[in-house]
Amino acid sequence: MNLVKFTQKGIYCPKGKFYLDPWQPVNYAIISHGHADHARWGMKNYLCTYESKAILKHRLGGDIKVESLPYNESITINGVKVSFHSAGHVIGSAQIRLEYQGYVVVFSGDYKTQPDFITIPFQPIKCNTFITESTFGLPIYNWKSETQLREELHSWILNNQANNRTSVLFGYSLGKAQRLLSLVDGVDEIFVHRSIHNLNEAIKSSGIDLPETKLWSADLDKKVLQNKIIIAPPALLGSRMLKRVPSAATASCSGWMQIRGNKRWQSVDAGFAISDHADWNGLISAVKATEAEQVYVTHGSQAVFSKYLNEIGIKANELKTEYGDEALNDAVLESENSNPE
């Protein structure tokens, strides 16, 4: 059954007359999460999880027409049953499940199978067709546990303090920043850039608790920041605002840090392989758990991952989409109330 079609505007459900995370303006868009490559401006109607509604309004404008639905509850749109199921990617992220006459398609959006301290854990969903990301779809990517990451970050920060340095962690405003908060909470005072602060306020308006933070502004007294913790968007790397931080020790927090030759190592003091996407084993386990007859692999190492799935007996095809554009996320998310100077 062709429950979904792959079009120039995005993934389309002809029966339901809606799109999944479209990249061009459409009448009805069902959104998996708030990252800029999945939730774009210009749709007449949006549907997302309850936790993502405030994020979309913050990012796309308070006047957008958006409805929300709790996890694991369903609605029927033109005969197609639609429900959201936790993806473990960022706060509010979901897999989108479609069912029509007993046939089930699951669009994963972005997901992470490794549990963390801030998001609802990934929920495997059985289906006939599974559309999966493959951002880190190479065997070299294997993430450490959240407990190990917390210990490494705490050790790094304490060492910086012993050397009279301020710890600056770089991560995207949506997802990575909140996860970093959960990892370093309790070590010392945490300051966040305005783009993260404002997004945190939107998230908290949905009833989600986040660790306490203080606003990091350009006119803040340097002495207040000494030996403390700052979480900032990657756009501030090399900015004048960063140069005003006393004895800054900088760290990039990204899955790409697993590869020590990554170019970003050249501009920071440390790197932590912290990703909001599934690693190689996580991708494999997620696909197997669906028991899908057909898998479509999009954005990332899709050629390698789809080839591997076919080799182990899972029918898989590559799917070209406009997801996975980190530059877009950086440009849109970090420009919100941001002045890198």
User: Taking residues 70-95, what's their average pLDDT?
Assistant: 98
What is the rounded CA–CA span in Å between residue 18 and residue 7? 12
Q: What is the pLDDT of residue 265?
A: 55
Strands (E), the chain: 5-6, 11-13, 18-20, 28-30, 45-49, 66-69, 74-77, 80-86, 94-100, 103-107, 129-134, 166-170, 190-193, 214-216, 229-232, 248-253, 270-272, 294-300, 316-318
> Would you state the pLDDT for residue 229?
98
Sequence ranges of the chain with CATH classification 3.60.15.10: 5-140+276-333
Are 98 and 87 within 8 A, CB to CB?
no
Integer Cα distance of 195 and 296 in angstroms: 35
Name all contacts of 303-312 with Cβ < 8 Å and 24+ positions apart.
304/134, 304/137, 304/138, 305/134, 305/137, 305/138, 306/134, 308/284
What average pLDDT does the chain have?
92
Domain topology for 5-140+276-333: Metallo-beta-lactamase; Chain A (3.60.15)
Residues 6+ apart with CB under 8 A from 312: none
d(CA 329, CA 86): 21
- Is 257's pLDDT higher than 70? yes
pLDDT tens string 136-164: 999 999 999 999 999 999 999 999 999 99
Secondary structure (3-state) at 151: helix
* Residue 16 to residue 19: CA distance in whole angstroms: 9
Banded model confidence at residue 5, pLDDT cuts 50, 70, 90: very high
**252 closest CA partner among 154, 334, 170, 146:** 170
pLDDT over 80 at 18, yes or no: yes
Confidence at residue 262, expressed as pLDDT on a 0 to 100 scale: 57
Positions of CATH 3.40.50.10890 in the chain = 146-272
Judged by average pLDDT, the poorest of 10-24, 35-49, 224-238, 324-338 is 324-338
Task: Say if domain 146-272 classifies as CATH 1.10.10.10.
Answer: no
pLDDT at residue 330 in the model = 47
What is d(CA 253, CA 114) in angstroms, rounded to the nearest whole number?
Answer: 16
- pTM, entire model: 0.94
Q: How far apart are CA 58 and CA 37, in angstroms?
A: 16
Average pLDDT over residues 173-202: 96
Distance CA 9, CA 21 (A): 9
